[in-house]
Structure formats: C-alpha cells, structure tokens
Structure 1
Amino acid sequence: MTQALHDGPVPRATPATIGNSEFDRDTRVERQEPGQYAVDLSAGWSVGGAVNGGYLLAVMGRALADALPYPDPFTITAHYLTAAQPGPAVIRTDRAQAGRTLAAGSASLVQRDAYGTEVERLRVLASYGDLAALPDDVRTSAEPPPMPPPGTCLGARDDPNHDPATAPPIAGRLDLRLDPATVGWAAGAPSGRGEIRAWFALADGRDLDPLALLLAVDALPPTAFELGLTGWVPTVELTVHVRCRPAPGPVRIALTTRNLAGGFLEEDAEVWDGADRLVAQSRQLARVRL
C-alpha cells in the first residue's frame, strides 16, 4: 500500500496561503535557501516563558508546506527536545521521494543559546497531501462532544481574577470558551476525570485552516488540571491527524486523559467543526511535574 502511494509524477501544489492575521504573521517563514528557512518566534504565543508547542508545530507546518509539493498536513509528529524561546530560529527541512497523492518530509528547528551554540528545539516528521482532493465519504462511530453553546461557556472575561497584564501572552490571541462541566480545577474542585472541553477560535477572527488546527490541539489548559495537578505539563511528543478543512467559525475541542503513570500522561484530542465533522485528531505524551 505504501509503495502505491509513492509512485508516479507529482504535481506542484500551492503552499499554504499566508494572510495578514496575527497568526499568519507570526508563523511566517522566510526561505533562505532550498530546505532552510528563517523564522522569528513570537513571544505572543508563549506560556511561562516558553513558546507553545502547538504554535511551534504550526510554524514547522508552514515551512513543510513550502518545501513539499502538496499543501496540507495529513499527519505530523513532533518530538520536543528542549524548550523553544521567543526570537530567531532556523528550520531545516528534508524531503523524501514523493508520489501521486502524498509527500513525506522531516524538519528540525534550532536556536542559538546564550553562548552561541546551536540547540535543536524540536524535530518533525510529516506526510502532506491535498485535503481538497479527498472523497466526501464518511463512515464513523465518533460523535461530537456534548457542549453548551459558546455564549454559556466560560472565557477569560468570566474569571474575576483575570488580569491581562499577568496572563500568559498566548491567552490574548485565543478565544477559548470552556465547558463549565470541565473547569472544576479553576475553583479548586477538580473532577478527577481528566477531561477538558472548549470552543476554540483565534481572537482576531481569522478562520481556521489545517495549520491553525495544529495550534488548536495544544491550546487548551492541560487535562492534568482536572486530575488535581497544577504544575507545568511539557509535551514530549505530539502527533496530529488532519482529516479535512474546517468550516468557518469556532471548533469544539475535547481533550481526555485516561492514564497517568510514572510521571507521564497521554492526552487525546478531537476537533469538530460547525458542520459536525471530525476535522482533526491528536495524541500527545506529556511529562507531569509534580
């Protein structure tokens, strides 16, 4: 099956469109030479001084969209090696032989530390294709998560202790509306179920696309909060499957964790659009700092 997918000539598709939204500006990459891109990682997408992993994956996804002959990530896996910091970085890509429907490639993001030494931050392996060329058939037992309308869910505006001056910078770039049934942790009464659900959109109103979905799966509070844990939960590995382009408007995201052992937990995400389509799925392994 793999051989059949990678035979034959490959048409060149248009890379992911770059617009004028904050997300587009902050994920922009500049091709320096074939396979190498410069990027300035924005502090606006950071949490606790480190750049958010979903934002980093979107930046890598944009570079690979330019390096590969197809526009859309179908599956992308990132291993986070060291915490990325806001500022200049370099992405190096390596393209494998492509076929009629899929093209695979890898990418590495590096920065220089205070001593000028190059440090690798994350490494990615991905397969790209054209989501618009997929058939419309759907056979699934998956169902959208039961959630109240966005207007009855809880955003930053509903937190009496919310202070934009001290909130993580990424919070100002997202429009998150959390399901009240999954925010017991915010009141000091976590449910212990390991579930977080929310409506997700970008604060500036930009419609979501496959690259924005790479951000979305890692943008909610960690499920560890509903397990009664409050420490940092850094991602070790994150795999995302993009299934189709989302309809305009916010998406619903359901995160679940079923097992925490040895200081590590898994976190599964499903992303549903306004047409009740499962547009993306992910699983990550994260370390719990107790």
Structure 2
Amino acid sequence: MSEAAIAPSATLGSARTGASPSRAAIGDSEFDRDTALTRREPGVYDIELSAGWTIISAVNGGYLLAVLGRALADALPHPDPFTISAHYLTASQPGPAVVRTETVRTGRTLSTGQASLFQLDEQGNEVERIRVLASYGDLGALPDDVRTAARPPQMPPPEQCFGPQDAPSPVPGSSAITDRLFLKLDPSTLGWALGKPSGKGEMRAWFGLADGRDADPLSLLLAVDALPPTAFEIGLSGWVPTVELTVHVRCRPAPGPLRVAITTRNLAGGFLEEDAEVWDSADRLVAQSRQLARVRLG
C-alpha cells in the first residue's frame, strides 16, 4: 500500500467556518501537523515526534497520547476516543517513532483497539515507550440527556490569571510546550511559583492552543496533562513522570477556551494521583482523567 498521511482535513465539519486568517482551524494547526502520522502499511505508522512539545527535554505525555489517539482513529471504524488508558514505559524523546495498532473488537457503537509507540535506543534496539488500550465511538451520535452533580470550577477571567510569560524567568529546558499553549493559571493555585505552596494539591487554568485552534476530542487528550503538576502546590519540585493515564472524553467541546481543574488527594510511597476535569465554554464537562505519577521526595 502507498504511504498516506494521517491528519484531519481543514474542511471537516469540526473545523471553524469563516475562521480568521490569524486563527488556526482544526486540521491546519501546529498541533495537527505535529501529531500527523504516515501510514506505512495497515496498522503501522511513522511519525517524527516534535521537540516543540517537550518538558525538560522529555516529550509531554498528553501530546504522546494524542499521537496514539490519532493513529487509533485511523485504524478503527469509529472516529472519537471515548476512553483511552496509557501506560508510560520509558521516556520518549523527540525524533523518529513508529506506532503499531491492533483492532481488538469492533461493534455497532464501539470499537476497541490497542497501540504502542516505539523508538530506537542508542544501540539501535527498538524500545516500547507507551502502550494504550482504547474504546472509540461517535460522540456526535450520543443523546443530549445530561444528569450531573458536577459543576465547572470557579475561576477568575483569563485576564486576571497568569501564564508562563508572566514568570520572572523561564525554567531552563522546560518552556518548549508552553510556547504552544494558551495557559492562564488561577492565582489561587500559584503559591508554589512564589515559594508559598498552599499544600492543597490543586491546579486550575484556562487552556487552549497558542495558535487559536479550537479544541476537539484529540486535543482534550493533551489538555488533561498540560498544566503544572499538583505536586508543586503540595510543596514538591522536579519532574513528575506519569506512570498511567486514563482519559474519558464525554462530548465534543464547544469553541473557545477550556477550563481545566486538577486535584490530588493522596500522596503516598512516592506516588500521587491527579484527577482532572475539563470544561468547555458552554459549561459542559467534556473530559475527565485520572493519572498515577511518581514524585521525587526529599
């Protein structure tokens, strides 16, 4: 089979019609270009992992999840991730990678598949970086009936929040991904940046992509893992690598910035959980996630 690039078309119905030339549309964004794969053969895809989505030189876990999510969207008969669980086995690096997918089951409303991302180590041996299992469906076919006790986070407007550009000086090696994000942190969760962490294990922010591209189900996989770790507000510092991350996508987000709220209730044995909620501009809970992460103590 001839090679085929796997990326959404800017003419798809999910794209913003009449978008300003200065505002990227879904399918024509840096995020879309950097998650695009080339189909080598059925179930096998090549990609160049971009250095633009790194944190302290390691590729961000949410970006990696979006890459694998796009591969599964091509491999499975349904378009949208409903639930996707990832185990991060080794740290991914910018550069060439191969994604291999396998269809586990297909049904009328849901299909299930698994995918793994591989890179070569310094000796030329193939190393598995991340493995996911996911169920896909059609979010557009879901009923509108919503019965929930969940409420969107109460946050100041974006102009009263603070982004990485407001910091007195960047953290060496950690700013690449923040250049690609619209990120405005709630001041009440910014004590760590002033040397006065609250100890509450909370992080809240307005979130979007820097080029103005509206959110879609795949970019929600990035949103749940793009904020500073809650460990900072507990009083810890340093890298907080993800061990496992599960995301539930509940509906297609409305245009406009997202609100992301993340909480940690328990740190024990050098591991903590992060529970995230993502809310769209229509006050709908569009995604939820839980991850287990490792922290450096002492």
TM-score range, shorter chain: over 0.9
Candidates 102, 127, 130, aligned match of 1:119: 127
1-structure distance, mates of 2:89, 2:124? 18
Letter in structure 2 aligned against 1:280: A
Letter in structure 2 aligned against 1:146: Q
Candidates 148, 160, 169, aligned match of 1:161: 169
The corresponding residue for 2:197 is: 190
Q: Secondary structure at the match of 2:105?
A: coil
1-structure distance, mates of 2:7, 2:111? 15
**Cα deviation code 1:109-140 (max 9, x no counterpart):** 00001110000000000000000000000000
Letter in structure 2 aligned against 1:24: D
1:44 matches 2:52? yes
Q: How does 1:119-138 map to 2 (within 5 A)?
A: 119-138=127-146
Query: How many residue pairs align between the two structures?
Result: 275
1:17 matches 2:25? no
Question: What displacement does 1:107 show?
Answer: 0.3
Checking the alignment, whether the CA contact within 8 Å between 2:55 and 2:173 is kept in structure 1 is no
The corresponding residue for 2:106 is: 98
1:171 matches 2:162? no
The corresponding residue for 1:259 is: 266
2-structure distance, mates of 1:173, 1:143? 28
Checking the alignment, whether the CA contact within 8 Å between 1:155 and 1:178 is kept in structure 2 is yes
**Cα deviation code 1:202-256 (max 9, x no counterpart):** 0000011000000000000000000000021000000000000111010000000
1-structure distance, mates of 2:83, 2:123? 35
The corresponding residue for 1:207 is: 214
Letter in structure 1 aligned against 2:134: A
The change in CA–CA distance for 1:16 and 1:137 in structure 2 (over 3 A counts) is farther
Root-mean-square deviation (CA, aligned residues, Å) is: 1.2
Question: What displacement does 1:166 show?
Answer: 5.4
Letter in structure 2 aligned against 1:239: T
2-structure distance, mates of 1:155, 1:225? 16
1-structure distance, mates of 2:236, 2:174? 19
Checking the alignment, whether the CA contact within 8 Å between 1:68 and 1:95 is kept in structure 2 is yes
Q: Percent identity?
A: 74
The corresponding residue for 1:240 is: 247
The corresponding residue for 1:76 is: 84
